[in-house]
Amino acid sequence: MAVRVGVLGATGAVGQRLIQLLDPHPEFEIAALTASASSAGKQYRQAAKWRVDSPIPEDVAEMTVTATDPDEVPDDVDLLFSSLPSSIGAEVEPAFCEAGYVMSSNSSNARMAEDVPLIIPEVNADHLELLEVQRDERGWDGAMVKNPNCSTITFVPTLAALEEFGLERVHVSTLQAVSGAGYDGVTSMEIIDNAIPYIGSEEEKLETESRKLLGEFDGAELSHDSVEVAASCNRISTLDGHLENVWVEAQEELTPEDAADAMEAYPSLDLRSSPDQLIHVFEEPDRPQPRLDRTLGGGMAISAGGFRESTFGLQYNCLAHNTMRGAAGASVLNGELLLENGYL
């Protein structure tokens, strides 16, 4: 029988992608939708300005949206996907966990909390065991798992593939799509013929989340990885797909061929939404490109190319679909991981 799930923040950009990925889904069935107070009581088709690239599922269109409040979500909902704005997530997500709901959240609040697993299943599924620490410390019947920021998800799996070479220092420079800012964040008129070399708190997220993801959990504490990460972030006029330029200095010799082989061989998982090949490696120097390559693996794969030696060590480019692999798809994958590991 399918697990009954709810979507918190169902009318936003990531909430809409979540609905697209969850209806239909072989393991999950949407049973609750929440949004802001102004949408509560409305049918979803009236509450949401639907903008994703497939029709709104008919059964979802007819559901009534409720306020984002634990008392409004049925008790037999076992898993919540949260795409709430972080200020609201910080306020209400703990109340849902206290009320017994298990939550896979894309919201940026609490990602760096020491007892909250920040998970990319292919990179650090073992960090899920932090939930025992979380349960002890917070006394929750429910649980909170987070996925990282979309631009962090784009490059961390490529670093994980290179860990055997002893990562020392990484610099990453991003070219981020406008959809990362949500529907209202950057309008097309602001960004056409332009690039904006600043995305609020984004650089810090790449620098800190990457070290938490690559850190080690010893059963009691999580130690953050010692790799040094410096990030610079830019908004460009792509619609979907974050492209990143990465420079890596490693302890061991790391040739472009070694790096490409290690990424190509880096394993995917057999969760429902896992792509067959996690990292696609391109030989063409002008790939990956957002418009051509963001939908590889149903939007859940990462791609890499442009491997070369540079003054600052190995250099390459990588790409992922920011609202699929980087946000909604990342939360769904974490939900599947929670199910597979008996947390639901």
What residues are annotated to the active site?
150, 242
Min CB(335)–ligand 11C separation in Å: 17
66/176 with CB nearer ligand 11C: 176
**Partners of 279 in the β-ladder:** 302
Min CB(133)–ligand 11C separation in Å: 23
Residues near 74 by beta carbon (within 8 Å), at least 6 away in sequence? 4, 31, 32
Q: In whole angstroms, what separates CA 266 from the centre of its chain? A: 19
Min CB(199)–ligand 11C separation in Å: 5
Min CB(136)–ligand 11C separation in Å: 27
235/280 with CB nearer ligand 11C: 235
151/273 with CB nearer ligand 11C: 151
267 upstream amide cis, omega within 30 of 0: no
Q: Please name which of 32, 65, 59, 73 lies closest in space to residue 47, comparing C-alpha atoms.
A: 65
Q: Please name which of 287, 289, 297, 292 lies closest in space to residue 324, comparing C-alpha atoms.
A: 297
Q: Alpha helices of 71-187 — where are they, by DSSP H? A: 86-98, 121-124, 130-138, 150-162
Q: Which residue is nearest to ligand 11C (CB)?
A: 180
Q: Is the dihedral of CA 237, 35, 70, 24 positive or negative?
A: negative
Pairing of strands 228-235, 167-176: parallel
Residues that bind ligand 11C (CB under 6 A): 108, 149-151, 176, 180-181, 199, 202, 205, 322
Min CB(202)–ligand 11C separation in Å: 6
